[in-house]
Amino acid sequence: MMMRLQKFLSRAGVCSRRKGETYIAQGRVAVNGETVTSPGCKIDPEKDRVSVDHRKIAFAPEKENLYIALNKPAGYVSSCHHRGEKIVLDLVDLPDRVYPVGRLDRDSTGLILLTNDGDLHNRLSHPSHNHEKEYIVETEQPVSRRDQARMAEGMVLDGKKTRRAAVAPISGNRFNIVLKQGLNRQIRRMVKKCGNRVTTLKRVRMGTIRLGPLEQGKWRHLTQKEVLSLKQEGK
């Protein structure tokens, strides 16, 4: 049974497939003692010897796919490893390894999805699929209609214009925004460019999955209907 190297790394609980591609490109992965840098490499997991950073990786049999919704509190990093920081995986008590889908910065709260389904993780994380992410934002100063329109139309960050967004006011200094991309701290940077500052940022929806009444710091398994909708969305 031949398998792509990045899928093997994901199955073995080392990292997500996308992260595995990065490890391979960085020359950190070896097969039978030879460094591999091509993400298209296929191996026989029952015969070939794989190591990452010179550490042998054992083959893991297929596990049941898990799909988790978590309400992330502030102060947690949406990463599998981050020295000196609390990570979202600290909040989930599961025997199998899962990985965050996308990012939610340390100071933000709200919905984050976790899964060990490598194929779905890759599709949902890739920016080309235009998955919607909805946020409720509170700012230090009231947000003018002009600034709302600027954010909706797109703003230049890092030399590139952001994609159009849906922006709707809630109150003077609170608004709802729906993005189809996820640049690093994008909303905070857009608000700052308007001469304002984000005080709280909460994600309430990812695609068809809503945060709902889930308490902060708590998690739940997605329903079969929710999983099916995610898989259809990820195609």
Residue 93 belongs to domain with CATH number: 3.30.70.580
- In percent, the amount of the chain with pLDDT more than 90 equals 64
- First-residue to last-residue Cα distance in the chain: 25
Are residues 215 and 200 part of one domain? no
Cite the DSSP H helix spans in the chain: 5-11, 17-25, 118-125, 145-153, 186-193, 224-233
Name residue, tokens 């925004």: 177
Rounded to an integer, what distance in angstroms lies between the CA atom of residue 158 and that of residue 217?
A: 33
Q: What residue numbers bound the domain in which 107 lies?
A: 67-127+209-233
Are residues 213 and 200 part of one domain? no
Are residues 216 and 171 part of one domain? no
Q: What is residue 178's predicted lDDT score, i.e. its pLDDT?
A: 97
- Which of 5-14, 87-96, 126-135, 224-233 shows the lowest mean pLDDT across its residues? 126-135
- Rg value, the chain, Cα: 20
For residue 104, is it within any domain? yes
Q: Please indicate whether residue 53 is annotated as part of the active site.
A: no
Rounded to an integer, what distance in angstroms lies between the CA atom of residue 49 and that of residue 30?
A: 8
Q: Does the pLDDT of residue 149 top 90, yes or no?
A: yes
167, with CB counted inside 10 A (0-12, 13-18, 19+), is buried
Are residues 186 and 219 part of one domain? no
Are residues 51 and 7 part of one domain? yes
Angle 61-64-67 (CA atoms, 0-180°, nearest 5)? 135
Q: Does the pLDDT of residue 128 top 80, yes or no?
A: no
Are residues 80 and 22 part of one domain? no
- In percent, the amount of the chain with pLDDT more than 70 equals 95
| Exposure on the CB side of residue 177, measured as CA atoms within 13 A | 30
For residue 62, is it within any domain? no
The active-site residue, picked from 48, 53, 96, 105, is 105
- pLDDT confidence of 96, banded at 50, 70, 90? confident
- pLDDT tens digits along 41-69: 999 988 899 999 999 998 766 667 899 99
Total domains present in the chain: 3
